[in-house]
Every structure is written in C-alpha cells, then in structure tokens.
Amino acid sequence: MKTESREQLQSWLRDTLPQQTPTNPRYWFPLTLPTYGVDEISEAIECMVDFQTSMGQRTRQFEQAFANYVGAADAVMVNSGSSADLLLAYQLINPLNPRLQPGDEVLVPVVTWPTQVWSVAMAGLKVQLVDVDPTTLNVDLDDLRRRIGPRTKCFFAVHLMGNPCAMDAVRKLCNEYGLLLIEDCCEALGAQHDGQHVGTFGLGGSYSFFFSHHMTTMEGGMVTCVDQHHADQLRVLRAHGWSRGLQNQATGAAEIDSRYLFVNWGFNLRPTELQAAFGLHQLAKLDAMNARRRQLAARFEDYVAQRPALATPSVPAAGTSSPFALPVMLSGDLAHRRGELTDYLEQQGIETRPVVAGNLARQPAAAILGDLDPTAYRGADEIHQRGFYLGLNPAFDDVLFGRMLDTLDAAIDHVSSTTHVRTAA
C-alpha cells in the first residue's frame, strides 16, 4: 500500500473508531477490554488490500521479533495457544525424531486449561495429573516427585495466571530423573524466573494471543524453540508435513516437484498474515501493557493484604510475575461462600470466573484419561471450591479500579452479614 494511502486509511480509522472503549453492557468491570487500535487495524486492512492474507513475510517477522523478546533461538507462530500446546506434544513423538514412545508418561498439573492435557493424550502419551499448591496455583513439587514412575519421561509445566513456577526446583527435579521439560506459558507472557523468560527453560514453550491475554492477535499462538532444527521440525508439523517455508530447505527425489514436497506428517495450524500484523504492533506495546497490569495487580495485592479472608498467589523468591488476571482464594468465614460472593459481584456488574477448569479430575471429560480419583488432588480441590478471579486489563483506569475494590468490599460485607446454610455435597 502506498504511504499516502496508508496515512489516509489511518486518518479515516481515527475518525471512525469509537472514542470510548466498548464494554459488555452487562458489566462495567469486565474481564478484559480491547488493547488494539488504529495501528493494528490499518496493518490488517493493508494485508487484505495487498491480497497478502495467508501466512507470509509479516508472520516470519513477528516470529523473529517474539523470539528476540523472550530470548529464544526461534519461534513458530500458530493459529491458537491450544495449537501451540498440540505442536509441543506432537514434537515429542515426531516420527522422524521421536523423543518419547507411545504410552510414555507426561506429568501435567491438574489445574490448567484442558487443551494442554488433551494435546498430550491425543499424541498417544499417558497423562499423569499432578496436584497443585493453592498458595501459588502452580505445581505441588512434593506431589510432582511422588508421581514420577518408571514410564515418566516428561513434565509439561504450566505458569498459571502469570505466576512463574519455581523453575530452579523444577529443573533440578527434571535433571535428577532425566525428564524432558516443556512449558505452557499461555497465561504468562512476560513472566520470568531469575531474569529468564518462562518458555525458555526446556525444549519449548507455548503462548496464547487470545483476545483477553497479555497481547492479542484475536486468535493466535506461538511456540518457542531451542534451535533452528527444532523450529524447522515444528514448521513441517504446522503445515501438512510440507517442506515449504523451512529455513533449511529439504530436498527430495528428483521426480518430486520441490513446491509440493512432503517430508513428515502434519496438521494445518497456520496463522493468517492479519494475525501477525496485529502481533507486530501488540508486541511493541507489550512492555507498557504488562507494566500497567503489574501496577494494578500490586494495588489489588495491597487491598487483599488488609482482608484476612482473601489471599492472592505467592510468587517464587526469584520469580517475576506477569499478571493475567486477579485470582483470589477465600478462607475463614468466606471459605465456602464463593458462589454467594461471585453472584453478588456479577449482579453488581463485575465479571468473574472460576480458576480455569478447577480440579480437572472433577470435569466430565476427565473420564477420557482413565479412572481418576478427584479426591487425590487436595490442593486442586481447594482452588476448585475457594478460588475465583476478576479481570485485569491495562485499559482499566484508576477510578474504575477503585470502584471495583469498593464493590468487592460491599460484596464481602453483604455475604458476611447473611446466614449461610451449607448443603451436603
């Protein structure tokens, strides 16, 4: 697109886009708000005007910029964070370079987004769920050690709600038992441990760019890679088993047209160029957006510190969180009254959610994994029963945030002043 045309488009967008950020009419304090504007939209429109909508140059540019940001050797963009988890899992059993064999066991925290678990199961690997620590929302290291058996070959860590795991202890344990390490960082972009970004401690890490996450490409995700060879393997798996797009071009038999050379099995998990266009501008804003998230989260932690019935997750001594939302654990008189509290907040226009799927062993779909005992995950049950979260977004202003805190106070007072009748489970 010509420079003058681009400038005209941006001017038109500035005049056309609403001046006030749109919100869900039901909630004045929603889980999230849009963080994109004229730059992202005009870049996406430019892709369409130039008929460059399929994965191309912008995608590669975004991959390189993202890898540089987190300190990875390379990165491979996909169409969602769940697809990023799927690529990580299938890379473990890649037929051309298998690291694991069918039936090998992968340890996964029991409180996580379900597609992290399904990815491992779909790859023909055995999922062993591990309990979590309700004070951190992350893996219980003692239970992790207890569940390591002779078929255990990998730990799929998750940094829940932007809180980094204690990666020094995790790596020490993985080294002790010879376990591969991969990381789900879909809620933790920008989180670090001892100055190192999560997603760069093992074989690879997955990230999500869904609308509500730290940065957005609407739908989209990324996988970090330890080297160029690993990145090329993932690019083949991402696109049909096709050699197209490899940095080190594959060669085949002379009778095969190199444009249609297939060297492995694969999916179609490719992103669009429009998503990458969004990502380039969002990545440039990421540090500022995350700084604002941390500022608001620190204000919330100060608020919670004055209220004994509430608690926020603790962060490892060497950790730097990148808050995804505002998770809360209830205790004391409020311990078994989460439903009443969140119902009141919802009625007052504050959107809430449970802590992802809670104890995944209690979900109906967990039957796919075999005969599980939900009561074997006590930490997860505490989160399941006593945890919920509120929204966090860099677009929230201080007045709006203060109003939310005042409403939360009113909710606590309301629930505390009403009679609670416990029903049998």
Residue 331 sits in the same domain as residue 411: yes
Nearest-angstrom CA–CA distance, 217 and 221: 8
Which of 256, 279, 302 is the C-terminal boundary of a domain?
279
Domain co-membership, 112 together with 233: yes
User: What pLDDT score does 62 carry?
Assistant: 98
Q: Choosing from 159, 193, 197, 213, which is the catalytic residue?
A: 213
| Ordered DSSP codes for 377-424 | -HHHHHHHHHEEEE---TT--HHHHHHHHHHHHHHHHHHHTS------
134 within some domain:
yes
Q: Is residue 368 part of a domain?
A: yes
The DSSP annotation for 262-327 comes to B-S---B---BHHHHHHHHHHHHHHHHHHHHHHHHHHHHHHHHHT-TTEE-----TTEE---SSEE
How many independent structural domains does the chain possess? 2
Do residues 192 and 106 share a domain? Answer: yes
| pLDDT computed for residue 425 by the predictor | 42
Pairing verdict, β 152-158 and 180-184:
parallel
**What's the confidence (pLDDT) of residue 20?**
57
Let me know whether 236 and 172 are in one domain: yes
The pTM for the full model equals: 0.94
Task: Tell whether 55 and 185 lie within a shared domain.
Answer: yes
Residue 111 lies in a domain: yes
Do 329 and 235 lie in one domain? The reply is no
Provide CB contacts within 8 A for 323, sequence distance 6+.
161, 162, 293, 294, 296, 297, 392
Residue at 316 is within a domain: yes
Distance CA 166, CA 316 (A): 6
Q: Which of 226, 265, 199, 235 is nearest to 78 (CA)?
A: 235
Determine, yes or no, domain membership for 3: no
Q: What is the Cβ-side half-sphere exposure of residue 416, based on CA atoms within 13 angstroms?
A: 15
Which residue is listed with tokens 């007045």?
399
Among 279, 299, 332, the domain boundary falls at 279
Instruction: Give residue 246's pLDDT.
Output: 75
Determine whether 240 is an active site residue: no
Q: pLDDT tens digits, residue range 203-250? A: 999 999 999 999 999 999 999 999 999 999 999 999 999 998 776 666
305 shares a domain with 257: no
Same domain, 107 and 195: yes
CATH number at residue 337: 3.90.1150.10
Q: Are 329 and 310 in contact (CB under 8 A)?
A: yes
Say whether both 253 and 371 belong to one domain.
no
Residues 264 and 292 grouped into a single domain:
no
* Residue 7 forms part of a structural domain: no
Please tell me the predicted confidence (pLDDT) of residue 11: 78
Bridge partners (DSSP) of residue 371 are none
What is the pLDDT, as a whole number, of residue 274?
A: 97
Q: What whole-number distance in Å separates Cα of residue 378 and Cα of residue 143?
A: 11
Q: Answer whether residue 83 is part of any domain.
A: yes
In CATH, what number is assigned to the domain containing residue 160? 3.40.640.10
> Would you write out the chain's pLDDT as a tens digit for each of its 425 residues?
666 666 776 776 677 776 656 566 789 999 999 999 999 999 999 999 999 999 999 999 999 999 999 999 999 999 999 999 999 999 999 999 999 999 999 999 999 999 999 999 999 999 999 999 999 999 999 999 999 999 999 999 999 999 999 999 999 999 999 999 999 999 999 999 999 999 999 999 999 999 999 999 999 999 999 999 999 999 999 999 999 877 666 666 678 888 899 999 999 999 999 999 999 999 999 999 999 999 999 999 999 999 999 999 999 999 999 999 999 999 999 999 999 999 999 999 999 999 999 999 999 999 999 999 999 999 999 999 999 999 999 999 999 999 999 999 999 999 999 876 554 44
- Looking at the fold, whether 309 and 160 belong to one and the same domain comes out as no
Out of 250, 279, 308, a domain closes at 279
User: Residue 84 corresponds to which tokens in the numbers above?
Assistant: 């990023």
pLDDT confidence of residue 25: 79
Answer whether 133's CB lies under 8 Å from 315's CB. no
Q: Which residue range forms the structural domain that includes residue 231?
A: 38-279
Name residue, tokens 């969140």. 342
Smallest CA-to-CA distance from 89 within 62, 112, 115, 123 is with 123
Q: What is the pLDDT of residue 252?
A: 62
Q: What is the model's pLDDT at position 22?
A: 57
Flag whether 19 is in a domain: no
Same structural domain, 219 and 263? yes
